[in-house]
Each structure stands twice: as C-alpha cells, then as structure tokens.
Amino acid sequence: EDQVTQSPEALRLQEGESSSLNCSYTVSGLRGLFWYRQDPGKGPEFLFTLYSAGEEKEKERLKATLTKKESFLHITAPKPEDSATYLCAVRGWDTDKLIFGTGTRLQVFP
C-alpha cells in the first residue's frame, strides 16, 4: 500500500535559521513526488514535482531533493512569510491518485 510519512509534525525556527523537512514514502514505482504549501484557511499551493532519485528543484529559499526512499525540503535562511504547513504527496505508476502525508507545520519567528 502506498504511504507517505512526514516529519517533524511541527517545526519552530528563528528567522535565518536553516533546516530541513522530511518526507518518507513507500510506493510501487514512483511516478512523481509533489510538495505543496498550505496557508491557514486556504487550499494547498503547488511548489515542486520530483520524478527520479537525484533530482533537485529550487524556488527562492526552498530546495527539494529526492532519493529512492525519501524527499527533503530544505529551507535556507527562512523568513516569517515562509510560515505555513508543507505537504508532501506521491503518485505511483499504477494509479491516478495522489497520496498525501499529514504535513509539517512550520513557524518562523522574527
């Protein structure tokens, strides 16, 4: 059964304090791994898609990486506006469905 586990559940950072969020997955043939950002009271917003181990993608202070078993979302010198819940999802080759993790709630304090 496809499964996604995200850690930690919550993370508090000082502004400028870099860190990483983890997404471990089990899927029968990875077709894509997706990162989303969700602000309170809003729908998730797409950030990245990663397709194969070794792939990396960057957007501003965020960098996503992928191995055969997990993905990391690295946040470099975060700002308070990076505070949000970050969701990871996977899709396997034999399905049209996305399986989401429960998310990491990030708070960045000035």
Partner 1 sequence: NAGVTQTPKFQVLKTGQSMTLQCAQDMNHEYMSWYRQDPGMGLRLIHYSVGAGITDQGEVPNGYNVSRSTTEDFPLRLLSAAPSQTSVYFCASSQREITYEQYFGPGTRLTVT
Q: How far apart are CA 64 and CA 56, in angstroms?
A: 6
Q: Which two tokens stand for residue 6?
A: 């995200």
Residue 92 sits in the site that holds partner 1 (CB under 8 A): no
Nearer to partner 1, 42 or 68 (CB): 42
Q: Which among 70, 55, 56, 57 has a CA at the least distance from the CA of 23?
A: 70
Residue 97 sits in the site that holds partner 1 (CB under 8 A): yes
Residue 68 sits in the site that holds partner 1 (CB under 8 A): no
| Phi then psi dihedrals of residue 79, to 5 deg | -115, 160
Residue 40 sits in the site that holds partner 1 (CB under 8 A): no
Number of DSSP helices (H) and strands (E) in the chain, helices first: 0, 11
Please, what is the minimum distance in Å from the beta carbon of residue 43 to partner 1?
3
Which of these ranges, 13-21, 45-53, 57-65, 69-77, lies near partner 1 under the rule CB under 8 A? 45-53
Which of these ranges, 20-28, 57-65, 75-83, 84-92, lies near partner 1 under the rule CB under 8 A? 84-92
Q: Which among 90, 77, 86, 76 has a CA at the least distance from the CA of 106?
A: 86
In the complex, the residues that contact partner 1 under the rule CB under 8 A are 31-32, 34, 41-46, 49, 87, 89, 91, 96-98, 100-103
